[in-house]
Structure 1
Amino acid sequence: MTGALQADLPIYDARRPELRLRPVKAWRHFHNLLKDKENTEEVFHIFESLPWRNLRETGQRFLRSDAGQAVRAKEPYLPAILDDHAALREMPEGSLAHAYCDFMEREGLTAQGLVDEFDKFARDRKKFDDQFTWYLNRMRDVHDMLHVLTGYGRDALGEACVLAFTYSQQPSLANLFIGYLAGLNINKQTQRSAPVLRAVREGQRLGKACPRLCEQSITELLPLPLEEVRKRLNITSAVHYHHAHAIWRSCGVDPYDLLGKSARLAA
């Protein structure tokens, strides 16, 4: 659904299949992801293989609440809001809206781009016309917003930390699986030169203090000063992540190129 709210949709279509744990499949797709961290389809496969056990109950509870229906009515399709940079740039300087635009433009990303990647992954899967689809989409569509709010970059460690942070909000085992295995791989590549696993654990801890972002009204947060939003959501600085970056840079290593030749660090 990309248009106006469809109020007559059922909250949950009971014909939806129950996802089951498939760790072997998740492991295979994680190895594919290591070969190309930009291959987003592999991430979707891992999440399908390691589902959030209580997702149905959590989503239904939110959708049955007045707050949930209010957010759904106000923001029926989040990517359209997030990709309207002209409107976001009209909001005050220093706002979350400007920080989000800066991040997405610098990285060459769009919210719709992630939707398109997911649609390719799900093209042969059955579609369901229920409100739960909106909730699932919200979890996907706030991912890049979490980068902005937490300060984690799109480097390998930053992505691992965002996933650990997300686990505490949306406890799919896939978040921990990718986050910690990616951390172990970074440790291997960099000869344990920086507090990588401490950074990932810190991300998990920071996520516990933050209310579930996909259930917040994003349009209410966007005009506010970035630091005010962080304070409202109890998001504090990721100390170990920034310390790891400082260590790598002091060794002449680009944190955004850890898997390149410059990753050969001394122990």
Structure 2
Amino acid sequence: MNDTIRSFPVGTQVDIAPDGTIFRHPDRPEPRRNLRAAVHHFRELLKDKEDTSHVFKIFESLPSSRFVPMARKFTLSREGQRVRESEPYLPTILDDHAALRRYHAGTVAHAYCDFMEQEGLTAAGLVEEGERAWPDRPKYGDLIEWYAWRRRDTHDLLHVLTGYGRDALGEQCVLAFTYGQNGGFANLFIAYLAAINTRRGVKTSAPVLRAVRQAHKLGAGAPCLAEMPILQLLKMPLDEARALMKVGDPTEYRRCHAIWRERGIDPYDLLAKGMATA
């Protein structure tokens, strides 16, 4: 793996934070849209939803026009600087369950630990998936990189806050919710295409597309999780944090689960059933 790139041509004009960190390294390439590549990786993702390296590839193929402006506004602000000083790298914080368990029962921290332990997940594991997607990608050490990492590292925390599980529909809803927060066509691309695949593969009256659409709308009123002080959020009672995040009530998602279970269908095995049928 290449070391972090820090040098750049003398005289290059760059935005720099007070601590000397540049916003965008001059060697960072401009993102380019590649719909064909996105479709290829989506098909591969359907074969194995646990191979999240394809998710990273889809996001690379469908870059968001809102990402850089949002990153610039936050990382160069005073609040962004405070957050970066107190939370330089989230996986280290999120994977220290012993420390998180010291917070009161009923807090976001406890709910997060319960979720991650039940699912057998770690924040570091998601980082490894990204590294597997781009094993030779250089690190630029700029604020864009730090901001992108926070978007990545708060994904599982968003599951906890929204109430959407890690079943196929839950992942689709989280991505749709994320689009409402942050934009990014890749979020909708995966969410709606996967929802269509689910509906076609498991033919019931479950309102799959309505569940995704509801998540899309709920996210539109929510603040950007990556821009919030996560340490403070972890200490909050879960209900209070959900109210702060304006996550709303995922009624259509729960309705889908209820209909599937009435039919003897396990919501957490939908993707496999859907692909077998489709």
Normalising by structure 1, we get a TM-score of 0.94
Q: Distance in 2 between matches of 1:102 and 1:35?
A: 28
- Shift in CA distance, 51/260, structure 1 to aligned 2, threshold 3 Å: closer
Query: What's the counterpart of residue 89 of structure 1?
Result: 101
Say whether 1:78 aligns with 2:83. no
Deviations 1:30-53 (A, max 9, x none): 000000000111111100000111
The answer to whether structure 1 residue 237 and structure 2 residue 249 are counterparts is yes
What's 2:13 paired with? none
Aligned to 1:40: 52
Query: RMSD between aligned alpha carbons?
Result: 1.9
Q: Give the 5 Å matches for 1:182-261.
A: 182-260=194-272
Alignment pair present for 1:61 and 2:78: no
Secondary structure of the structure 1 residue equivalent to 2:182: coil
Match of 1:50 in 2: 62
- The AA in structure 2 aligned to 1:114 is L
Q: Deviations over 1:174-195 (max 9, x none)?
A: 1000000000000011114300
Q: Could you report, residue by residue, the CA deviation over 1:176-232 in whole angstroms, capped at 9, with x for unpaired residues?
A: 000000000000111143000000000111101110000000000111100000111
Q: Displacement, 1:98?
A: 0.2
Secondary structure of the residue aligned to 1:206 is: helix
Q: Indicate yes or no: 2:138 matched with 1:126.
A: yes
Contact conserved, 1:190 with 1:263, CA < 8 A, in 2?
Answer: no
State the alpha-carbon separation in 1 of the partners of residues 274 and 168 from structure 2: 14
Q: Which residue of 1 aligns with 2:181?
A: 169
TM-score (norm 2): 0.90
* Partners of 1:190 and 1:264 within 8 A in 2: no
Amino acid in the other structure paired with 1:83: D
Residues 30/262 of structure 1: CA separation in 2 closer, same or farther (3 Å cut) = closer
Q: How many residues align?
A: 262
Percent of residue pairs identical? 53
Q: 1:28 aligns to what?
A: 40
Q: Distance in 2 between matches of 1:94 and 1:182?
A: 33
Structure 1 residue 260: Cα displacement: 4.4
- The 8 Å contact of residues 29 and 43 in structure 1, kept in 2 or not, is answered as yes
Q: Which amino acid aligns with 2:117?
A: E
- Provide closer, same or farther for how the CA distance between residues 264 and 115 of structure 1 changes in structure 2, counting only shifts above 3 A: closer
Q: Which amino acid aligns with 1:46?
A: I
1:59–1:250 Cα change, 3 Å: same
Change (3 A) 1:162 1:234: same
Partner of 1:168, secondary structure, is helix
Deviation at 1:261, TM superposition (A): 5.3
Dislocated runs of 4+, deviation >6 Å: 262-265
Gaps of 5+ in 2: 4-17
SS at match of 1:194: coil
Mind listing any 5+ residue stretches in structure 1 that lack a counterpart?
none
CA contact (8 A) 1:253 1:263 kept: no
Partner letter of residue 91 of structure 1?
Y
Q: What amino acid maps onto 2:257 in structure 1?
A: H
**Which of 190, 205, 209 is residue 178 of structure 1 equivalent to?**
190
1:258: how far off?
Answer: 1.4
Task: Give the Cα separation in 2 of the matches to 1:76 and 1:32.
Answer: 33
